[in-house]
Amino acid sequence: MNGERLKAFTALLVTGLYQLISYFIAAVTFPVWLLRDGRSGGGTAQRYGRVPSQIQQKTDLAGCIWMHAASVGEVGVLARVLTHLAGQTPELPVVVTTMTSTGRDRARQLLSGQADHCYLPLDAPALVNRTVRGLHPQVLIIAETELWPNLISRVARYGAPIVMVNARLSARTHRRYRRVGAGMKRILNNISVICVKSEADRERFVALGADPGRVRVTGDLKYEPLSGVVDTPLEDRRDRLGLPAGRPVFTAGSTRQGEEAFVLEAFEEAVRHVDDLLLVLAPRYPRRADEVFELVTERGLRCLKRTTWLEETSGDEGDEMDIPGNGIEVLLLDTLGELERFYAAADVAFVGGSLVPAGGRRRAQPAGTRCLWCPGPLRTAYGGNRGRRPPPARGCRGSAGRGWPKPG
């Protein structure tokens, strides 16, 4: 058996094993999905290939633009893509699939009126085929690097082009994919266009077998301003969030355990120099809200949870309860999907995951909103920008008239 035949045989063997494993996983995890989805609003049938009837009624007429995002961050990428697609294909409905309930909630929040949502099916051939027949996709747009073999092969077999946007391939992931060999090359060659973040990503995709002519460097879409976030005056952005227009705001986002104490210490120092400063504190994981709330109040600071604020003001127009601007010093952001808007409403932002070695968060959100932002010393935490100095903030709004020192 020569080398080429051996590679082909290996690829077929790996594919066959993957199919068997995918069916096995779909079978044994069914009770898990029933329990998990039951707690978060249902959707297990969608994971097993059923397209909701209200969506299928639309797609049966002309098909759809199918967009897939794994979770919350990737939904933001698709929102930026959808902004550019708006109006170009009005006859085609847009369907966004996600894998998590938080991604679903973000899609409903961010893309309401623009797209319908359902869960991505588990990657077993029959389940994917069922979804493809229900959606009739005219194109599949995948955010980031969601390389599901059966999803990609079944959509390609249906005849729809596949586009990956904001794709990234770390050195570690590249080494892992190389073990698949010819099987990975077959998957990548089913993708019509791969839009990657950097030249290093492009080289890794090509090394895995992607056609060089199909791989294009387009940069990180997360740096692109989100429609409706930075294209309106600062006062309007704050008004939508219920923040006072004239109060200086410091937003500390995606903080990890151990970082909040440093942030609060810096805030207490800052309020000596900046009158009426408001801190918006957003832990990386909202489940830590009670822990962080206790940490804030132990320091004698007046704190309000965002969820409490929303609950107590819903339906009470003009209610002057203890909202920011009325005695509150710290607003604890314990909701999902709002951080980018609070970055856009801030004068200064801090990006968490850069004071403790916890993996870090990307600086794309504050940089994309053009507010003055600052990371901590652990800059290697910023994913694809390891070893490089973060770019300067754009459109800094710190002003001496508001009590802020003029930037640099």
261 and 120 co-located in one domain: no
Contact 86, 56 (CB under 8 A): no
132 and 179 co-located in one domain: yes
Among 173-182, 251-260, 367-376, where is mean pLDDT lowest? Answer: 367-376
202 and 239 co-located in one domain: no
Q: Of 223, 242, 274, which residue constitutes the final position of a domain? A: 223
Cα–Cα distance between 157 and 190 in angstroms, integer?
9
Tell me, yes or no, whether 344 lies in a domain: yes
Structural domains of the chain, count: 2
Cα–Cα distance between 380 and 374 in angstroms, integer?
14
Q: Is the predicted pLDDT of residue 311 greater than 90, yes or no?
A: no
> Which candidate, 84, 70, 89, 79, places its Cα nearest to that of 137?
89
Cβ atoms within 10 Å, residue 72: 20
pLDDT of residue 24: 97
Q: Of 165, 198, 223, which residue constitutes the final position of a domain? A: 223
Contact 283, 292 (CB under 8 A): yes
274 and 388 co-located in one domain: yes
Query: Which region, left, alpha or beta, applies to residue 318 given φ > 0 means left and ψ of -120 to 50 means alpha?
Result: left
Tell me, yes or no, whether 7 lies in a domain: no
Instruction: State the average pLDDT over residues 103-108.
Output: 91
139 and 243 co-located in one domain: no
Local confidence band at 315 (pLDDT 50, 70, 90 cut-offs)? low
Tell me, yes or no, whether 382 lies in a domain: yes
Q: Give the CA count within 13 Å in the CB-facing half-sphere of 284.
A: 18
Q: What is the pTM of this model?
A: 0.77
193 and 255 co-located in one domain: no
Tell me, yes or no, whether 229 lies in a domain: no
Cβ atoms within 10 Å, residue 299: 14
Tell me, yes or no, whether 8 lies in a domain: no
Q: Of 166, 191, 223, which residue constitutes the final position of a domain? A: 223
Q: Which is higher by pLDDT, 346 or 11?
A: 346
244 and 365 co-located in one domain: yes
What is the β-pairing status of strands 64-68 and 94-98?
parallel
Cα–Cα distance between 172 and 197 in angstroms, integer?
16
Chain centroid to CA 52: 24
Q: Is the predicted pLDDT of residue 4 greater than 90, yes or no?
A: no
Among 295-299, 308-312, 331-335, 381-385, where is mean pLDDT lowest? Answer: 381-385
Q: What is the mean pLDDT of the chain?
A: 84
Q: Is the predicted pLDDT of residue 89 greater than 90, yes or no?
A: no
- Specify the 3-state DSSP secondary structure of 187: helix
pLDDT of residue 408: 35
330 and 353 co-located in one domain: yes
> Which candidate, 149, 154, 213, places its Cα nearest to that of 180?
149
Local confidence band at 323 (pLDDT 50, 70, 90 cut-offs)? low
Which member of 4, 74, 235, 311 is catalytic?
A: 74
Report the residue count for the chain. Answer: 408
Q: What is the CATH number of the domain that holds 284?
A: 3.40.50.2000
Tokens of 52: 């909701």
270 and 163 co-located in one domain: no
**Enclosing domain of residue 189:** 14-223
Q: What is the CATH number of the domain that holds 53?
A: 3.40.50.11720
Tell me, yes or no, whether 197 lies in a domain: yes
Q: SS3 for 317-356, per residue?
A: CCCCCCCECCCECEEECCCCCCHHHHHHCCCEEEECCCCC
Tokens of 283: 């832990």
130 and 242 co-located in one domain: no
Q: Is the predicted pLDDT of residue 370 greater than 90, yes or no?
A: no
Tell me, yes or no, whether 75 lies in a domain: yes
Cβ atoms within 10 Å, residue 19: 16
Tell me, yes or no, whether 1 lies in a domain: no
pLDDT of residue 364: 54
153 and 269 co-located in one domain: no
Catalytic-residue membership of 224: no
18 and 158 co-located in one domain: yes
What is the maximal distance between C-alpha atoms in the chain?
80
pLDDT for 234-279, tens place per residue?
Answer: 888 888 888 888 899 999 998 999 999 999 999 999 999 999 999 9
